[in-house]
Amino acid sequence: MYHSRFQRIRAEFMSKQTNALSWLLLSVLIIVADQVSKWVVLQHFQLHDSLPVIAGLLNWTLAYNEGAAFSFLSDAGGWQRWFFTALAVIVSAILVVWLKRTNRADWRTAMPLALIIGGAIGNVIDRIRLGHVVDFIDVHYGTWSWPAFNIADSAISVGAVMLIAFGLFASKPDSAR
């Protein structure tokens, strides 16, 4: 009795909500995972401390990034903190509007947008709270090393690649089939 009533209410709610704003739950999960992981690293590491995870490939290494991707403008004198914060907030707001205009079933658009929003806001929280972004994932091989990054950066990168790939190579979204 209760179960069928709940399902009926849920179905009615779902039929009324056709936009993709519910995908923001994925954004929230990204933000939580990002902030929790950064909190754990900050509790156990000092700046530049490193712990091998996979020998010769992956370390947890605490680094601070005051710039953007690949430490772009990290030594610009401080104005970049607020510039990148404002940019991320503006882009996130635009992507939320895009999500609102996207059909919920169009996961090829909604998922990448939600990943980018979650990652952007995760890094905004760091910039506002700490004045820099906390990075800790250090991928390297031999003398080659990728700049340290975090879960938020990963979500932004994966979301952007998905958005481009689905835009270039997908014929139609699932909702149109």
- pLDDT at site 55: 92
Question: Catalytic site residue 174?
Answer: no
Residue 94 domain-assigned (yes or no) = yes
Residues 6+ apart with CB under 8 A from 166: 108, 109, 112
Residue 6 domain-assigned (yes or no) = no
Q: What is the pTM of this model?
A: 0.82
What is the count of structural domains for the chain? 1
Q: Is the pLDDT of residue 29 over 60?
A: yes
Arithmetic mean of pLDDT, 105-121: 97
**Active-site entry in 34, 106, 135, 138:** 135
| Spatial distance between the Cα atoms of 34 and 111, rounded to a whole number of angstroms | 17
Express each pLDDT in 50-101 by its tens digit: 999 999 999 999 999 876 665 555 555 666 778 889 999 999 999 999 999 9
Residue 1 domain-assigned (yes or no) = no
**Domain span at residue 43?**
20-176
Residue 99 domain-assigned (yes or no) = yes
| Spatial distance between the Cα atoms of 20 and 68, rounded to a whole number of angstroms | 28
Residue 75 phi, psi (nearest 5): -110, 35
Residue 11 domain-assigned (yes or no) = no
Q: Is the pLDDT of residue 10 over 90?
A: no
Residue 64 domain-assigned (yes or no) = yes
DSSP H helical ranges for the chain: 2-16, 24-44, 79-100, 107-130, 151-169
- pLDDT at site 7: 72
The radius of gyration computed from the CA coordinates of the chain, to the nearest angstrom, equals 19
Residue 156 domain-assigned (yes or no) = yes
- pLDDT at site 83: 86
Question: Catalytic site residue 75?
Answer: no
Express each pLDDT in 131-157 by its tens digit: 999 999 999 998 999 999 999 999 999
Note every long-range contact of 84-87, with CB atoms under 8 Å and residues 24 or more positions apart, other chains counting.
84/127, 85/124, 85/127, 85/128
Residue 129 domain-assigned (yes or no) = yes
